[in-house]
Amino acid sequence: MTPADGNDPARAGYHDAAMADARLTFDVLARDGAARTGRLTTAHGSVATPAFVAVATQASLKSVPPETVDATGTQLLFANTYHLYLRPGAEVVAAHGGLHRFMAWDGPILTDSGGFQVFSLGAGIEHGVGKVASIFPGEGDAAPAGPPARPGGGLVRVSEDEVEFTSHVDGSRHVFTPERSIAVQRALGADVVLAFDECTSPLHDEAYTAASAARTHRWAERSLRAFVESPPRHGYPQALYGVVQGGAFEAVRRASAREIASMQVDGQGFDGLAIGGNLGDTREAMYRVLDWTVPELPDGPPRHLLGIGDVPSVFEAVERGVDTFDSVAPTRNARNGGVLRRFDDDGTPLASFRTNLKNARFRDDLRPIDEACTCSTCRRFSRAYLRHLLKANEQLGQQLATVHNLHFMADLMREIREAIDAGRFADLKRAWLAPDGAVSDRA
């Protein structure tokens, strides 16, 4: 283990002129095996890693104002290019000076490329799989049931040059290219933008996955060139991450990692690397994908895992050297009454790390969600009150549950960083995932 270089970095505001002039940097501060802590510095502040990235799809973390999100310890947000392109429109956001001013969030923001919508509106509909509902179709308890398969029912047409899609808002037709995706993300003004890619389904075979990955590599080069040749629009630098694809096929995944990591245009490569696409039909399959992928990536750039944010997966990904993760699951589950907890009331570890507050047993329960939690929800409100709000479909209930889950994830990430700094990450992982003393295959 390498000693930490100073304290956990705190986020600075974008009004810091020196920060606003700085290009994205990433410094590794400590190591414990492949797990590492770091400082990701952007024009809108620094992020202590490993870090969970909360998803604010439409420039909003549903029901929770920015200052409340900040108070949970959440360091950075992830917004959706496809949705913001459709409404209110990238130029509306640009007229405000970019997403930070539009949504009154001072901290770092990431945007995806719109590539995931190629999947969710196309193969996602046809195969009946999705981001949360069931991204791991081989696991029955992964999430609520997804949409039914609809062969030929997708809203997307993918060609070599572009993606044509039908808006889910009004049925209008639109075209995205790598160049268009970069232009939209320049207008949105996120600190980190993603190269345009095609995400494959767990039900795609190796031949299609390999062909798709090759297309993603060509789109990645076009994205990188468009990024290099276009200046930022809002007075501060942006960074571009390349996306590794390849599904759950080892040869394709390793080749994609090497290709994206080494890609350059006019001497400039990607500022960071994202691991995306089909990660397999079970969590164990995803861990194998990470075992193939991460060793093919260079040590220096930050590594982001797209669409993953459950507790076991976070530990496994951190152990393999991943730095940041985004997922809608903690906030979406909160809105449906699913609050994150480590232990049940009798001290039994919760295998799902979640309790459903809508259960009848909480009707008269005057205790907070978690008596050990210091979030503003747990300091002030009872389970009975929260259950009432959620059952009555009151937005305050969704907000308060979301605040708790964001705090839980931020607190978990802080605990992970401290463990890596102290060289005891394996002990912490064992305590969370195998509290009965059993040791996982990597602990």
Q: Tokens for 312?
A: 């076991």
Element (H, E) at 4: none
Catalytic option among 112, 197, 281, 310: 112
CB 343 within 8 A of CB 355: no
Compute how many other C-beta atoms are within 10 angstroms of the C-beta atom of residue 265: 17
- Please confirm, yes or no, whether 32 is among the known catalytic residues: no
Q: Name the amino acid, one letter, at 217.
A: H
Three-class secondary structure of residue 350 per DSSP: coil
Amino acid (one-letter) located at 431: A
Identify the DSSP state of 261: H
Whole-angstrom CA distances from 420 to 27, 37, 386, 406, 438 are 15, 7, 35, 21, 21
Q: Which residue has the tokens 């890619």?
A: 197
Q: Which amino acid is at 134?
A: S
Say how far apart CA 426 and CA 419 lie, in whole Å: 8
| Packing angle, helices 283-293 and 311-319, rounded to 10 | 20
Please tell me which residue in 191, 197, 326, 421 is annotated as part of the active site: 326
| Residue of 291, 226, 272, 276 whose CA lies nearest to 246 | 276
Q: Give me the helices (H) in 164-249, please.
A: 178-188, 206-228
Place of tokens 């479909």: 393
What radius of gyration, in Å, describes the C-alpha atoms of the chain?
A: 21
| Interatomic CA distance for residues 55 and 57, integer angstroms | 6
Catalytic site includes residue 112: yes
Point out the residues that are catalytic.
Answer: 112, 326
